């Protein structure tokens, strides 16, 4: 495990957010990611996990509460400005361009700073040799796990300090899931702080330093990954139905 520091690099404070007027999906969500931390967010379908990431990343309007990056209030900033501030995001669905090659997908990750492409491509290839081994392959012909690696690689092109991952293991076989979680750990060990939303609650909490359980847009439980994995209430209410080992 990398050295971690629970002083928040990124924090959500009492976030209230939603898509449709007067319907709040997040109803007071609070949490943070410390320096070098890998933080997991679990919870049932529709709990608001993806919405939490989108609200923190400027993709869903925040109605009240704050998003803080260190001492800076970044609540109202749009996603492209947050990328310049050092945040990266890998969405839950459609996170690669299938008709583009692996290399082109990574180019898209840094199209605003093309001069940095070579250096960043080399750095990401060091972490994930797949991106250079398969550089000319169209992403549509990659396996699900390989696509996740490309999607994460693309988000790493801007050299983020904090990365949001939304369900990186979704739709993958158990073996592929293990590989993807290993990749997530590799990214974290390279020094990137991570907030990862996951349906595979058990595996998520196994690799997370800390975790939050979200239910109906609110924090239900929080603790270290180990505490949550062993908490009888969390097991009864969430892990029993969510764990997909």
Ligand X SMILES: Nc1ncnc2c1ncn2[C@@H]1O[C@H](COP(=O)(O)OP(=O)(O)OP(=O)(O)O)[C@@H](O)[C@H]1O
Which residues, in sequence order, are CB contacts of 239 under 8 Å at separation 6+?
201, 202, 229
Rounded least distance, CB 98 to ligand X, Å: 21
Q: Which is nearer to ligand X, 4 or 92 (CB)?
A: 92
Q: Which is nearer to ligand X, 31 or 48 (CB)?
A: 48
Q: Which is nearer to ligand X, 131 or 228 (CB)?
A: 228
Rounded least distance, CB 18 to ligand X, Å: 7
CA angle 195, 121, 170 (to 5 degrees): 35
Choose the one of ligand X, Mg ion, none that binds residue 51, judging by a C-beta under 5 to 8 angstroms depending on kind.
ligand X
Tell me which stretch binds Mg ion (CB under 5 A): 3-11, 74-82, 85-93, 124-132: 85-93
Which of 106, 74, 104, 101 lies closest to 87 in space, CA to CA? 74
Rounded least distance, CB 41 to ligand X, Å: 9
Choose the one of Mg ion, ligand X, none that binds residue 182, judging by a C-beta under 5 to 8 angstroms depending on kind.
none
7, 177 Cβ separation under 8 angstroms: no
Q: Which is nearer to ligand X, 21 or 114 (CB)?
A: 21
Tokens 């310049």 belong to which residue? 84
Q: Which contiguous run of DSSP H or E holds residue 183?
A: helix 174-189
26, 15 Cβ separation under 8 angstroms: yes
The C-alpha atoms of residue 10 and residue 210 are separated, in whole angstroms, by: 14
Is 200 near Mg ion (CB under 5 A)? no
Q: Which residues bind ligand X (CB under 6 A)?
A: 19-20, 25, 43, 45-51, 92, 199
Order of strands across the sheet with 87-90?
87-90, 162-166, 193-197, 38-42, 210-215, 218-224
Q: Which is nearer to Mg ion, 50 or 161 (CB)?
A: 50
Which residues, in sequence order, are CB contacts of 14 under 8 Å at separation 6+?
28, 29, 30, 64, 65, 66
Q: Which is nearer to ligand X, 121 or 181 (CB)?
A: 181
> Most distant CA pair in the chain: distance in Å?
52
Choose the one of Mg ion, ligand X, none that binds residue 199, judging by a C-beta under 5 to 8 angstroms depending on kind.
ligand X
Choose the one of Mg ion, ligand X, none that binds residue 25, judging by a C-beta under 5 to 8 angstroms depending on kind.
ligand X
Binding residue for Mg ion (CB under 5 A) from 37, 43, 50, 88?
A: 50
Which residues make up the interface to Mg ion (CB under 5 A)?
49-50, 92
């Amino acid at each position: 495990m990398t050295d971690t520091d629970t002083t928040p690099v990124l924090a959500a404070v009492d976030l209230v957010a939603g898509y449709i007027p007067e319907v709040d999906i997040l109803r007071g969500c609070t949490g943070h990611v410390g320096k070098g931390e890998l933080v997991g967010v679990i919870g049932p379908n529709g709990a608001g996990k993806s919405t939490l990431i989108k609200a923190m990343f400027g993709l869903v309007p925040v109605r009240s509460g704050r998003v803080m990056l260190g001492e800076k209030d970044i609540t109202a900033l749009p996603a492209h400005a947050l990328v310049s501030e050092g945040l990266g995001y890998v969405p839950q669905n459609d996170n690669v361009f299938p008709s583009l090659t692996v290399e082109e997908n990574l180019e898209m990750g840094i199209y605003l700073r093309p001069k940095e492409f070579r250096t960043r491509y080399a750095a990401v290839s060091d972490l994930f040799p797949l991106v250079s081994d398969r550089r000319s392959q169209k992403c549509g012909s990659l396996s699900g796990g390989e696509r996740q690696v490309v999607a994460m690689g693309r988000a790493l092109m801007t050299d983020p300090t904090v990365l949001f991952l939304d369900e990186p293991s979704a739709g993958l076989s158990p073996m592929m899931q293990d590989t993807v979680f290993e990749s997530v750990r590799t990214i974290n060990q390279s020094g990137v702080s991570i907030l990862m939303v996951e349906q595979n609650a058990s595996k998520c909490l196994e690799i997370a330093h800390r975790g939050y359980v979200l239910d109906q847009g609110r924090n239900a439980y929080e603790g270290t990954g180990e505490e949550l994995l062993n908490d009888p209430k969390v097991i009864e209410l969430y892990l029993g139905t969510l764990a997909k080992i």
